[in-house]
């Protein structure tokens, strides 16, 4: 489903429609001076921009909360003893040194950790894989552990893209939630 088909997307579309109608009404009102038109246009712009920003904030908050829940479900440590907690921190330190281009190393480490039954290392590797958007590592793990596959895919999709045009959905959301500043208000 595209963003424009979501309730928030439809709400943003309605905000744009109402905004365009308000601008048209204000611009064609012969009883208003140019200064009066500018003031009303500014008020409409601020109202519409505030409404769109509220949608953005709601999305960001929901994304942060969902990401937290998924990360806790997938990587949270249920350790009740200090040794397991220390082991998890050590595993995180070890895989933390893997850089963006070390996905092959991570796949090898993942395979070794799974063969040896090192669940702590597996969690640490998968956490790093999500941080660096290593889809090959996530796919490998998801293939062996289908119960986590959908959560991994969702968590990967929630990761912050590297650029505004990194995905069609991100671009669509950016365009729909953007409000063009009217010429009457200038650029400042």
Cα(173)–Cα(4) distance, integer angstroms = 8
Retrieve residue 29's tokens.
């009102």
Whether the pTM exceeds 0.75: the reply is no
Q: Tell me the residue ranges of DSSP E strands in the chain.
A: none
Q: What is the pLDDT along the chain (188 residues), one digit of tens a residue?
A: 677 788 888 999 999 999 999 999 999 999 999 999 999 999 999 999 999 999 989 988 988 899 889 988 887 765 667 888 888 888 889 999 999 899 999 999 999 999 999 988 998 999 899 888 888 998 899 888 888 888 888 888 887 554 444 566 667 777 788 898 998 888 65
Cα(177)–Cα(8) distance, integer angstroms = 10
Cα(131)–Cα(71) distance, integer angstroms = 10
Q: What is the pLDDT of residues 118-153, one digit of tens each?
A: 988 998 999 899 888 888 998 899 888 888 888 888
Nearest Cα to Cα of residue 98 among 131, 71, 143: 131
């Amino acid at each position: 489903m595209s963003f424009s088909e979501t309730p928030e997307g439809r709400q943003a579309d309605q905000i744009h429609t109402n905004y365009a109608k308000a601008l048209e009404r204000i611009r064609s009102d012969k009883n208003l001076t140019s200064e009066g038109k500018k003031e009303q246009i500014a008020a409409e712009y601020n109202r519409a921009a505030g409404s769109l920003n509220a949608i953005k904030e709601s999305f960001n908050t929901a994304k942060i909360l969902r990401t937290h829940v998924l990360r806790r479900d997938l990587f949270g440590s249920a350790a009740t003893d200090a040794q397991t907690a220390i082991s998890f921190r050590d595993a995180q330190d070890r895989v933390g040194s893997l850089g963006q281009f070390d996905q092959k190393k991570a796949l090898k480490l993942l395979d070794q950790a799974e063969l040896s039954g090192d669940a702590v290392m597996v969690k640490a590797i998968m956490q790093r894989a999500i941080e660096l958007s290593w889809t090959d590592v996530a796919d490998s793990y998801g293939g062996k552990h289908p119960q986590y596959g959908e959560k991994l895919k969702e968590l990967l999709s929630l990761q912050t893209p590297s650029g505004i045009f990194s995905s069609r959905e991100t671009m669509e959301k950016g365009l729909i939630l953007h409000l063009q500043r009217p010429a009457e208000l200038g650029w400042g």
